[in-house]
C-alpha cells in the first residue's frame, strides 16, 4: 500500500477490513512490528498501518495532539519537543520505526509511570475501524469527553484484538524546567523502605530504579524544589541517559540470558524470594526478573501478593500474559464478541481464547 500525499490511507484500510470480513480472513495488524516479541503468535493477512501517517492537528496552547496511527513515534516526539512539551508516560519504542498505533496497542509506559500515569491516562479520543466494517470516532480532544465507559482508553493494551485504531488524540504536558539524576548505594530492601517513606513526602521524584546494588533516582520540577530534594537526599550524579537505556531495555541487565519476566506488583510490596537477578523499576511496582524458574512458580509468587507476571522472552510460553481468571476471561470474550464479532483482528494475540 503506497502512502497517499496527505498521509490519509483510511479508505484503503477500511476496504481491506471490509474485504477480510467478507472473506472471513483474519488480519494481523502491525506497524513497525517493534512489539512483535510480546504476546502470542497470530496468523493472518498483514494489515500494515504505516501508510496511514501524519500529525492531524496540534495546539501547544491546549496541550493536545492528534495523529494517525502509522505516525512514527519519533516524529510525534520531535514535534512535541520543539514546543517544549512531551508525552509524560514515556512510552518505550523498542525500535526506530515504532508507531503511535503500536504505542497505544501495547499500552507500555516508561519510568515516569507511577508518578505521571500510563498511556491510557493521556488518551482523549480515537478513530477506530470496527469488526463490523465501520469507521467510528470515540472521545474527543478535551478531558470532559472521556468520562464514563470510554472505548478509546480500552484500546490501550488491547494489542489490536478489539479493532484497528486509525487516529489518536493525546493530552501532552510541558517538559519539566529542571531534571537531575542521582545514584545512592543501598540494598534492595533499604531502597523499598526509603521509597515507601519518600512516597508520603512532597519530593519531586519522577523515576526510581534499583539495580541490585544502587538506587537510581530522577528528580524533576522547578529549580528550587529539585535543588532542595538533592540537598536532602544526597547521592552521586547519574547520567540522565540511564532512563532511556532502562526504558528501551538496553542496559546490560537486558542482554541475552535467562528468560526475562516483567512482574507487575502492588505498591510497597516487599522483595519476592525468587531465583535469578532482579531489577526494581517504578519504585518497586515493576520488577524485571531474569530466571530459569518454572513459569508456574513465578506467577504463583506474583499472584500471592496481588500482582501478575508477563514473559518477555518470545516463544518460551504459549501464554506469555498471565492467564485470566474465568470471570475476567468471560468479560474479555464478551467484549471481543461485541467489537469484533467475526474475530478477524489479531486472533489469539493476547490469549488463545480471544
Question: Is the domain of 18 the same as that of 142?
Answer: yes
Question: Is the domain of 101 the same as that of 151?
Answer: yes
pLDDT at 242 over 50: yes
Asked if 238 and 216 touch (Cβ cutoff 8 Å), the reply is yes
pLDDT at 1 over 80: no
Q: Does residue 164 belong to any structural domain of this protein?
A: yes
Q: Does residue 325 belong to any structural domain of this protein?
A: no
What's the pLDDT tens digit per position in 14-50? Answer: 999 999 999 999 999 999 999 999 999 999 999 999 9
Question: Is the domain of 21 the same as that of 100?
Answer: yes
pLDDT at 5 over 70: no
Give CA 222 to chain center in angstroms: 27
Q: Does residue 4 belong to any structural domain of this protein?
A: no
Give me the mean pLDDT over the 186-212 stretch.
95
> What pLDDT was estimated at residue 152?
87
- The C-alpha cell 478489539 sits at 162
Q: 266 falls in which pLDDT band (50, 70, 90)?
A: very high
> What pLDDT was estimated at residue 145?
47
3-state secondary structure (DSSP) of residue 147: coil
> Where among 174, 205, 224 does a domain terminate?
174
Asked if 40 and 348 touch (Cβ cutoff 8 Å), the reply is yes
d(CA 354, CA 352) in angstroms, rounded, equals 5
Q: Does residue 281 belong to any structural domain of this protein?
A: no
Q: Does residue 124 belong to any structural domain of this protein?
A: yes
- Residue 133: left if φ>0, alpha if ψ -120 to 50, beta else—which one? left
Give me the mean pLDDT over the 323-352 stretch.
95
Q: Does residue 223 belong to any structural domain of this protein?
A: yes
Question: Is the domain of 213 the same as that of 105?
Answer: no
Question: Is the domain of 169 the same as that of 27?
Answer: yes
**Which residues have a Cβ under 8 Å from the Cβ of 55 and sit 6 or more positions away?**
65, 66, 67, 68, 71, 75, 76, 79
Question: Is the domain of 123 the same as that of 157?
Answer: yes
> Where among 222, 248, 274 does a domain terminate?
248
| Percent of the chain scoring above 70 in pLDDT | 96
Is pTM, for the whole model, over 0.75? yes
303-310 contacts, C-beta under 8 A, 24 or more apart:
305/265, 305/266, 305/269, 305/272, 306/265, 306/266, 306/269, 307/263, 307/264, 307/265, 307/266, 307/269, 308/263, 308/264, 309/261, 309/262, 309/263, 309/264, 310/38, 310/261, 310/262, 310/264
> Where among 248, 265, 280 does a domain terminate?
248
What's the pLDDT tens digit per position in 253-263? Answer: 999 999 999 99
Q: Any idea which of 3-12, 37-46, 251-260, 290-299 has the lowest mean pLDDT?
A: 3-12
Q: Does residue 28 belong to any structural domain of this protein?
A: yes
Enclosing domain of residue 220: 176-248
Question: Is the domain of 119 the same as that of 228?
Answer: no
Give me the mean pLDDT over the 309-327 stretch.
95
Could you give phi then psi for residue 6, rounded to 5 degrees? -90, 0
Query: Residue 112's domain is classified under what CATH number?
Result: 3.30.465.10
Question: Is the domain of 165 the same as that of 195?
Answer: no
> What pLDDT was estimated at residue 139?
79
> What pLDDT was estimated at residue 277?
96
Question: Is the domain of 241 the same as that of 97?
Answer: no
What's the pLDDT tens digit per position in 111-159? Answer: 999 999 999 999 999 999 999 999 999 876 544 444 445 788 899 999 9
Strands 45-48 and 27-30: parallel
> What pLDDT was estimated at residue 141?
58
User: Counting Cβ atoms within 10 Å, is residue 57 exposed (0-12), middle (13-18) or buried (19+)?
Assistant: exposed
Q: What is the mean pLDDT of the chain?
A: 94
Query: Residue 199's domain is classified under what CATH number?
Result: 3.30.70
Higher-confidence position of 1 and 125: 125
> What pLDDT was estimated at residue 2?
53
Question: Is the domain of 206 the same as that of 231?
Answer: yes
* Total structural domains within the chain: 2
Question: Is the domain of 122 the same as that of 63?
Answer: yes
Question: Is the domain of 111 the same as that of 133?
Answer: yes
Asked if 70 and 53 touch (Cβ cutoff 8 Å), the reply is yes
Q: Does residue 161 belong to any structural domain of this protein?
A: yes
Amino acid at each position: 500500500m503506497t502512502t497517499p500525499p496527505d498521509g490519509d490511507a483510511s479508505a484503503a484500510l477500511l476496504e481491506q477490513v471490509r474485504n477480510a470480513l467478507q472473506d472471513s480472513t483474519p488480519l494481523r495488524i502491525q506497524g513497525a512490528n517493534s512489539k512483535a516479541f510480546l504476546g502470542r503468535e497470530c496468523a493472518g493477512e498483514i494489515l500494515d498501518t504505516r501508510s496511514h501517517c501524519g500529525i492531524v492537528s496540534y495546539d501547544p496552547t491546549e496541550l493536545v495532539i492528534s495523529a494517525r496511527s502509522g505516525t512514527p513515534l519519533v516524529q510525534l516526539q520531535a514535534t512535541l519537543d520543539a514546543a517544549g512539551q512531551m508525552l509524560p508516560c514515556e512510552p518505550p519504542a523498542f525500535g526506530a520505526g515504532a508507531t503511535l498505533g503500536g504505542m497505544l496497542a501495547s499500552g507500555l509506559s516508561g519510568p515516569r509511570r507511577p508518578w505521571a500515569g500510563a498511556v491510557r491516562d493521556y488518551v482523549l479520543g480515537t478513530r477506530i475501524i470496527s469488526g463490523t466494517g465501520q469507521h467510528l470516532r470515540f472521545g474527543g480532544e478535551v478531558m470532559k469527553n472521556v468520562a464514563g465507559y470510554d472505548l478509546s482508553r480500552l484500546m490501550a493494551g488491547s494489542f489490536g484484538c478489539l479493532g484497528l485504531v486509525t487516529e489518536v488524540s493525546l493530552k501532552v504536558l510541558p517538559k519539566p524546567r529542571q531534571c537531575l539524576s542521582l545514584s545512592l548505594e543501598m540494598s534492595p530492601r533499604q531502597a523499598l523502605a526509603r521509597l515507601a517513606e519518600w512516597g508520603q513526602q512532597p519530593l519531586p521524584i519522577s523515576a526510581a530504579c534499583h539495580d541490585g546494588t544502587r538506587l537510581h533516582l530522577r528528580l524533576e520540577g522547578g529549580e528550587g524544589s529539585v535543588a532542595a530534594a538533592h540537598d536532602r537526599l544526597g547521592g552521586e550524579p547519574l547520567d540522565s541517559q540511564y532512563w532511556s537505556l532502562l526504558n528501551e531495555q538496553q542496559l546490560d541487565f537486558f542482554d541475552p540470558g535467562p528468560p526475562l519476566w516483567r512482574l507487575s506488583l502492588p505498591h510497597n510490596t516487599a522483595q519476592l524470594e525468587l531465583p535469578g537477578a532482579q531489577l526494581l523499576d517504578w519504585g518497586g511496582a515493576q520488577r524485571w526478573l531474569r530466571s530459569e524458574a518454572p513459569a508456574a512458580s513465578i506467577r504463583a509468587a506474583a499472584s500471592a501478593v496481588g500482582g501478575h507476571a508477563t514473559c518477555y522472552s518470545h516463544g518460551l510460553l504459549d501464554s506469555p500474559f498471565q492467564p485470566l481468571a474465568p470471570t475476567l476471561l468471560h468479560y474479555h470474550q464478551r467484549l471481543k464478541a461485541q467489537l469484533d464479532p467475526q474475530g478477524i483482528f489479531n486472533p489469539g494475540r493476547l490469549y488463545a481464547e480471544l
